[in-house]
């Protein structure tokens, strides 16, 4: 095993101060587990909780990320409701999710996503960039075309892939319990890898899978060698299921 495997918990609009107990359980598991050398755990709770969690768990076995960032590239200022990269970093975040399909539905267009990615990277926040086609696009055979459009419209030509993680999340898989076959996923990741090499000259982009990952399907998904980990929604809220996902991946 020579690559880091990511397990990223996207808590969406869930969690409160008591949820620290879930993170503590994951932390305790990691501390006594030999696999902690091979994995990166990143919790992305609501922004209001990051600082509280970071103060409670200062150990770097647990990392934190935000679920959004302001596209305005200043540290502070008269921008009501905005959270700058600086404010997020100050709260304890080192990562930020950008381009999630749920956020695209609310208010993120291509231009906004590109601006947010640039602001995050300039300010040394690592980006978890989500891409994914919806069901009707998939049914029309447009999946790869859509993914490539999402990538090209959001990533500058000279972007630094050291601080960028691409999470492929088919929209039709998020929260539905439907997971694409390995055959389908293999084709997508091989094509994406070749495309990223051609357009950005990157050899080993970090590519994750997201969409209904559970303890029962993670081992099968783990057979896809181009996948470097997972973005996990529902199954990341409880430590017991999150830990089982990690364990089953390495079984």
- Which residues are annotated as catalytic? 100, 169
Q: Which stretch binds ligand PEP (CB under 6 A): 44-52, 57-65, 151-159, 204-212?
A: 204-212
Q: What residues from 110 to 169 belong to the interface with ligand PEP (CB under 6 A)?
A: 169
Least distance between ligand PEP and beta carbon 32 (Å): 26
Least distance between ligand PEP and beta carbon 22 (Å): 15
Task: Determine which residue in the list 175, 184, 197, 216 makes contact with ligand PEP, applying CB under 6 A.
Answer: 175
Least distance between ligand PEP and beta carbon 243 (Å): 15
Select 192 or 232, whichever has its Cβ closest to ligand PEP: 232
Cβ–Cβ under 8 Å, residues 208 and 236: no
Q: For ligand PEP, how many residues bind (rule: CB under 6 A)?
A: 13
Q: Which stretch binds ligand PEP (CB under 6 A): 18-26, 119-127, 181-189, 208-216?
A: 208-216
Q: Does residue 99 come out as left (phi exceeding 0), alpha (psi in the -120 to 50 range) or beta?
A: left
How many of the other CB atoms lie within 10 Å of CB of 110?
Answer: 14
Between the CA of residue 112 and those of 70, 71, 84, 99, 119, what are the distances in Å?
Answer: 9, 7, 14, 9, 10
Q: What residues from 209 to 248 belong to the interface with ligand PEP (CB under 6 A)?
A: 210-213, 231-235
Task: Determine which residue in the list 128, 174, 188, 206 makes contact with ligand PEP, applying CB under 6 A.
Answer: 174
According to DSSP, the residues that pair with 6 across neighbouring strands are: 40, 229
Our finding on whether 10 is near ligand PEP (CB under 6 A) is yes
Q: What residues from 42 to 81 belong to the interface with ligand PEP (CB under 6 A)?
A: none
Beta strands 229-232 and 5-10, pairing class: parallel
The C-alpha atoms of residue 234 and residue 213 are separated, in whole angstroms, by 9
For the chain, the farthest-separated pair of C-alpha atoms sits apart, in whole angstroms, at 51
Structure tokens at 60: 């770097």
Q: Which stretch binds ligand PEP (CB under 6 A): 60-68, 86-94, 106-114, 207-215?
A: 207-215
Helix (H) and strand (E) counts for the chain? Answer: 10, 8
Q: Which residue sits closest to ligand PEP, CB atoms considered?
A: 233
- 7, exposed or middle or buried, with CB in 10 Å at 0-12, 13-18, 19+? buried
Select 151 or 200, whichever has its Cβ closest to ligand PEP: 151
Residues lying near ligand PEP in the complex (CB under 6 A) are found at 10, 169, 174-175, 210-213, 231-235
């Amino acid at each position: 095993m020579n690559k880091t495997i990511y397990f990223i918990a996207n808590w969406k609009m869930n969690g409160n101060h008591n949820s620290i107990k879930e993170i503590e359980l994951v932390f305790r598991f990691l501390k006594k587990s030999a696999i902690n050398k091979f994995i990166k755990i990143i919790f992305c709770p609501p922004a209001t909780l990051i600082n509280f969690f970071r103060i409670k768990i200062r150990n770097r076995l647990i990392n934190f990320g935000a679920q959004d960032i302001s596209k305005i590239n200043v540290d502070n200022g008269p921008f009501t409701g905005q959270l700058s990269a600086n404010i997020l970093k100050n709260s304890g975040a080192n990562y930020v999710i950008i381009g999630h399909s749920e956020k695209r539905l609310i208010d993120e267009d291509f231009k906004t996503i590109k601006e947010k990615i640039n602001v995050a990277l300039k300010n040394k926040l690592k980006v978890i960039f989500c891409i994914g086609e919806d069901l009707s696009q998939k049914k029309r055979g447009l999946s790869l075309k859509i993914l490539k459009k999402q990538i090209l419209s959001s990533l500058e030509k000279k972007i630094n892939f050291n601080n960028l993680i691409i999470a492929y999340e088919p929209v039709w898989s998020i929260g539905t319990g439907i997971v694409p076959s390995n055959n389908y996923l293999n084709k997508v990741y091989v094509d994406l890898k070749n495309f990223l090499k051609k357009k950005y000259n990157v050899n080993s982009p970090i590519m994750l899978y997201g969409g209904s990952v559970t303890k029962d399907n993670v081992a099968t998904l783990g057979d896809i060698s181009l996948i470097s980990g997972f973005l996990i929604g529902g199954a990341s809220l409880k430590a017991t299921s999150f830990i089982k996902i990690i364990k089953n991946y390495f079984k």
